Amino acid sequence: MDNEKIISEVMGGGLRVLNRIADSPLVERLGLEQRAQRLVYEGAKRAAETAAKAAKRLAPKRSSDRPRRSRKFDLSLSEEQQLMRDTLRRFADDVMQPAAREADDRSAPPDDFLETFSELGAMAMAVPEGLGGAAEQVSAVSQMLIAEDLARGDMGLAYAALSPLSFVNAIVHWGDDQQRARLLPSFLEGETTAASVAVVEPQPLFDPNALRTTVKKRGPDYLLSGEKSMVALADRAKWFLVAAEIPKAGPRFFLVEGDAAGVEVTQEPAMGLGSAGLGRLKLDDVRVARESLLGGAAALKAEGQAAYDDAVNRASIAWGAMALGTSQALLDYAIPYCNDRIAFGEPISHRQAVAFMIADIGIELESMRMLVYRAAGRIDAGLKCRREAYLARTLCSDKAMQIGTNGVQLLGGAGFIKDHPVEIWYRQLRSIAVMDGNLLV
């Protein structure tokens, strides 16, 4: 392949991604046109430089000339990621936050919410160009940033928006060619907007590696039986990705259609995340074809267990990112409130107890962010992240509850009533500790 062809392919892939973002109707609606146009211009120059370097790397090298693989931990974002953050944060502030209270009261997202979110192009950015998407390279860090920024608007609505995205992520990462060709086009073209991942089960001390949802082999097919809890978009999902235990093989994922015989969905009112349209999924000898096993026949081997373990790690990172977004929203709300709230002739933020509590929230938030970002970064670097994902989940589940409690405490009686969003954030942040699955980066 000559250098001109290399430059053309590399530039074409990168610019298609940038143009997809720049042409989004929501970019214009949210007032980000100039920044998007500048990004496309700078992206073209950067793509040419990258392509030239890529062509140079194709030349034969002596082993001593090969650069060592860098394992430097870098929190800086690319221009593309920064543009994505700007767009999502504006979406969270202008669309999600105003709709959060009503969605929580009715225990369902707004009717057009999923369609509006799809206009941002997040689905296309999660699918590589070779599979019909717009991503030159799928990034766990980018997916984690999407979860964090959406959760700043409302964690329940973020859960609803990210559930179809999680389903697509699973198909991209672990599906076989047939499953990708059959399912991805409908999501990319907007024909399917509602799908969900179902891992969590209604049992104390739930462990994603000790599932009670079971699988029986019946001829060429499988029979699934069990219950799944806290499933987003349960009453409208066209597809479910169900985790179930295969005897002698371990937990695996199965593709289950929402209208399949034996599938029953009931509403599941919960303390938090109500705006995601939570439901309980009951499976009564649901028959699925062998092609419904995610990854096909190869999933029955060691690769299948590795894929499931990877999904558990990615779920830990996803919920850690959700905790980050909502905790940041709480901190951003509490600081001006405490500065403006006058008691005994001075702002309550002048009191040491209040100032120290706000400082503690900021400190814990940064420690959470460090662990979550590092775990996601290791995935993109091709490194193992089981330890880092576990640490991120452990810290975020503990500190999220503490931050939610302190947020209510800072507002006093105002934090207990619905005039302020802190009581919603409190309920949502407590859900982090029980959600061990159902969302993937």
Q: Is residue 132 domain-shared with residue 38, that is, in the same domain?
A: yes
Q: What pLDDT score does 55 carry?
A: 43
Domain termination residue (choose one: 268, 300, 332): 300
Q: Is residue 204 domain-shared with residue 149, that is, in the same domain?
A: no
Q: What pLDDT score does 62 carry?
A: 40
Question: 376 to each of 22, 45, 142, 311, 323, how far by Cα in Å?
Answer: 26, 28, 9, 12, 15
Question: Does residue 418 sit within a domain?
Answer: yes
Give phi and psi for 66, each to the nearest 5: -70, 130
Question: Does residue 398 sit within a domain?
Answer: yes
Q: Are 398 and 404 in contact (CB under 8 A)?
A: no
- Determine the structural domain holding residue 203 and report its residue range: 196-300
pLDDT (tens place) for every residue of the chain, 441 residues total: 454 444 444 444 444 555 555 566 665 666 666 655 555 545 544 544 544 444 444 444 443 444 344 456 666 788 888 888 999 999 999 999 999 999 999 999 999 999 999 989 899 989 999 999 988 889 999 999 999 999 999 999 999 999 999 999 999 999 999 999 999 999 999 899 999 999 999 998 899 999 999 999 999 999 999 999 999 999 999 999 999 999 999 999 999 999 999 999 999 999 999 999 999 999 999 999 999 999 999 999 999 999 999 999 999 999 999 999 999 999 999 999 999 999 999 999 999 999 999 999 999 999 999 999 999 999 999 999 999 999 999 999 999 999 999 999 999 999 999 999 999 999 999 999 999 889 999
Question: Does residue 170 sit within a domain?
Answer: yes
Q: Is residue 214 domain-shared with residue 169, that is, in the same domain?
A: no
Q: What pLDDT score does 315 carry?
A: 97
Q: Is residue 204 domain-shared with residue 187, that is, in the same domain?
A: no
List the Cα angle 162/163/169 in 5-degree steps: 85
Q: Is residue 237 domain-shared with residue 341, that is, in the same domain?
A: no
Write out the two tokens for 349. 């933020």
Q: Is the dihedral of CA 309, 314, 318, 323 positive or negative?
A: positive
Domain termination residue (choose one: 170, 194, 218): 194
Question: Does residue 62 sit within a domain?
Answer: no
Question: Does residue 64 sit within a domain?
Answer: no
Domain termination residue (choose one: 280, 300, 320): 300
DSSP state of 93: I
Q: What pLDDT score does 9 carry?
A: 46
Strands 214-218 and 263-267: unpaired
Q: Is residue 176 domain-shared with residue 274, that is, in the same domain?
A: no
Q: Is residue 91 domain-shared with residue 179, that is, in the same domain?
A: yes
Q: For position 330, which CATH number holds? A: 1.20.140.10
Q: Is residue 227 domain-shared with residue 319, that is, in the same domain?
A: no
Q: Is residue 88 domain-shared with residue 163, that is, in the same domain?
A: yes
Residue 243 pairs with which residues in a beta bridge? Answer: 253
Question: Does residue 63 sit within a domain?
Answer: no
Number of domains in the chain: 3
Question: Does residue 67 sit within a domain?
Answer: no
Q: For position 286, which CATH number holds? A: 2.40.110.10
Question: Does residue 294 sit within a domain?
Answer: yes
Q: Is residue 381 domain-shared with residue 413, that is, in the same domain?
A: yes
Q: Is residue 48 domain-shared with residue 136, that is, in the same domain?
A: yes
Helix (H) or strand (E) holding 167: helix 155-174
Q: Which long-range contacts (CB under 8 A, 24 or more apart) does 267-271 make?
A: 267/107, 267/234, 267/235, 268/229, 268/230, 268/231, 268/234, 269/107, 270/230, 270/431, 271/427, 271/430, 271/431
What predicted TM-score, i.e. pTM, was given to this entire model? 0.85
Q: For position 118, which CATH number holds? A: 1.10.540.10
Q: Is residue 373 domain-shared with residue 429, that is, in the same domain?
A: yes
Cα distance between residue 255 and residue 167, in whole Å: 10
